[in-house]
């Protein structure tokens, strides 16, 4: 079976407060993660919460990268969804892990839109 896309859900723990709470840094890191994975960036939007935290999404031709940060906990929830075979979501996740200086990461990959082979009726 093949799939339409790969979706990596990552939990980044032990990240630096000052990075996770800086909208410009988070935006730049997320955009660069998409580029590091070989994706084509289309649009992006980020929001800074008060008193802390950043949420944002980078729309790529191949799907998206999204993040929500809890700087006070040193935690970021990240998802990277890519379609097709040219972009590897793990490349983006590895880049994010490095840039956010995560001490611990757990991540899982889901195959999205798995294509089930069709049964073909044969008339004899």
Active site residue 68: yes
Tokens of 33: 């993660």
Rounded Cα distance between 42 and 49, Å, is: 24
**Catalytic residue, candidates 7, 15, 64, 83:** 83
Rounded Cα distance between 79 and 58, Å, is: 11
Active site residue 93: no
Looking only at the bridges linking them, the beta strands covering 41-48 and 104-112 are: unpaired
**Catalytic residue, candidates 68, 85, 93, 104:** 68
**Catalytic residue, candidates 63, 85, 93, 104:** 63
Burial code (b: 16+ CB inside 10 Å, e: under 16) for 17-34 equals: eebbbbbebbbebbbbbb
Active site residue 83: yes
- Show which residues are catalytic: 63, 68, 83
């Amino acid at each position: 079976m093949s799939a339409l896309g790969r979706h990596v859900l990552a939990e980044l723990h032990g990240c630096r407060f000052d990075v996770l709470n800086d909208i410009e840094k988070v935006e730049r890191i997320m955009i660069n993660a998409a580029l590091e994975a070989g994706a084509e960036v289309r649009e992006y939007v980020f929001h800074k919460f008060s008193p802390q935290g950043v949420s944002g999404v980078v729309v790529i031709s191949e799907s998206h990268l999204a993040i929500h940060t809890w700087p006070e906990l040193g935690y970021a929830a990240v998802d990277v969804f890519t379609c097709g075979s040219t972009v590897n979501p793990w490349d983006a996740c590895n880049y994010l892990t490095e840039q956010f200086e995560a001490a611990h990461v757990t991540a899982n990959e889901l195959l999205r839109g798995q294509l089930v082979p069709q049964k073909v009726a044969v008339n004899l």
